[in-house]
């Protein structure tokens, strides 16, 4: 009898573990963008292996910098959606995995992968 109860407990635990979603996956690769600093200098920003399904405000182009970023390049293995505003608001544009990119005409302040 004890063996049967132990087996039932193990099978129940295994079912619970498969029902619990895993941690958020990360996109593999690098996302790059260019921007002008508040001092007027050209700079590059990048995200290495960014988390998926989470909005990321891009460094250097937040609300304290009047100039947005530009020329995004998606070199990750996941679709990237860039936004004109912070907190993934405003107009958006999708960049394909590995080769997606846009010119300096595309202005960006945040991105989400997935």
Question: How many beta carbons lie within 10 A of that of residue 24, not counting itself?
Answer: 11
Average pLDDT over residues 33-37: 96
Tell me what the pLDDT averaged over the chain comes to.
84
**Whole-prediction pTM:** 0.77
**Secondary structure of residue 28 in the 3-state scheme:** coil
Confidence band, pLDDT 50/70/90 cuts, at residue 25: confident
Average pLDDT over residues 75-82: 98
When the candidates are 2.60.20.10, 3.40.50.300, 3.40.50.2300, 3.30.70.2190, the CATH number that belongs to 29-113 is: 2.60.20.10
Q: What is the dihedral of CA 98, 99, 104, 107, to 10 degrees?
A: -50
Phi and psi at residue 85, to the nearest 5°? -115, 170
The residue among 78, 67, 74 whose CA lies nearest residue 108 is: 67
Average pLDDT over residues 41-67: 94
Domain boundaries, the chain: 29-113
């Amino acid at each position: 009898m004890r063996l049967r109860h132990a087996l039932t407990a193990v099978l129940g635990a295994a079912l619970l573990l498969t029902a619990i979603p895993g941690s958020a996956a990360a996109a593999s690769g690098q996302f790059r963008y260019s921007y002008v600093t508040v001092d007027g200098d050209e700079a590059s920003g990048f995200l290495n292996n960014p988390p998926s399904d989470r909005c990321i405000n891009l460094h250097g182009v937040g609300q304290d910098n009047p100039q947005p970023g530009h020329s995004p390049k998606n070199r990750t293995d996941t679709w990237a959606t860039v936004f004109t505003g912070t907190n993934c608001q405003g107009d958006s544009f999708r960049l394909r995995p590995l080769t997606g990119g846009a010119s300096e005409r595309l202005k960006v302040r945040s991105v989400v992968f997935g």
